[in-house]
Amino acid sequence: MSRSQSSRHGRTERLASISKGRFVPLALASSLAVFCLVLPPHAATAWAADGKVAAVNIDNFTFTPPVLTIAVGTTVTWTNRDDIPHTVVENDRNFRSAAIDTDEQFSHKFNTPGEINYFCSLHPHMTGKIVVKP
Ligand SMILES: [Cu+2]
């Protein structure tokens, strides 16, 4: 969490310094300024809300967020941040990952609207849900 916040902050500072350069034409400078104003707060949501990709973290035996709402056609990527393997298994076994080791990922594209419940087959108390909106 803190890692992504700090990198986003760093990018903002870099863009801000570019827009202050004296050789940048006014139009470009102002568009960069708008870019700076718009990008930081919306980068994460725009990325997830464009119907393409979304992310779930696996950390401390927990899927985060536990309930993820996406548009149909979105690919969800799970990333394991724990020191031990986990899996992602749909309750009805429509999809299942192999063991996901530390810092490894598993992705699945959701093409049908509905509520999909899943769990970790190695630790069945770990559960999560994907809500796929039409
Ligand atoms: Cu697990």
Domain positions in the chain: 2-44, 53-133
Amino acid at 66: P
Question: 22-37: per-residue pLDDT in tens?
Answer: 444 444 444 444 443 4
Who's near 24: CB < 8 A, 6+ residues apart? 18, 32
CATH of domain 53-133: 2.60.40.420
Cα 3 to ligand 1 centre (Å): 24
CA distance 65 to 125: 15
The residue ranges of the chain whose pLDDT is under 50 are 1-49
15-23: Cβ within 8 A, 24+ apart: 15/39
Cα 127 to ligand 1 centre (Å): 9
**Predicted pLDDT at 52:** 87
Tell me the C-alpha to C-alpha distance, in Å, between residue 112 and each of 35, 89, 106, 115.
34, 17, 19, 9
CA distance 103 to 123: 18
Cα 97 to ligand 1 centre (Å): 11
Cα 40 to ligand 1 centre (Å): 33
**Predicted pLDDT at 33:** 44
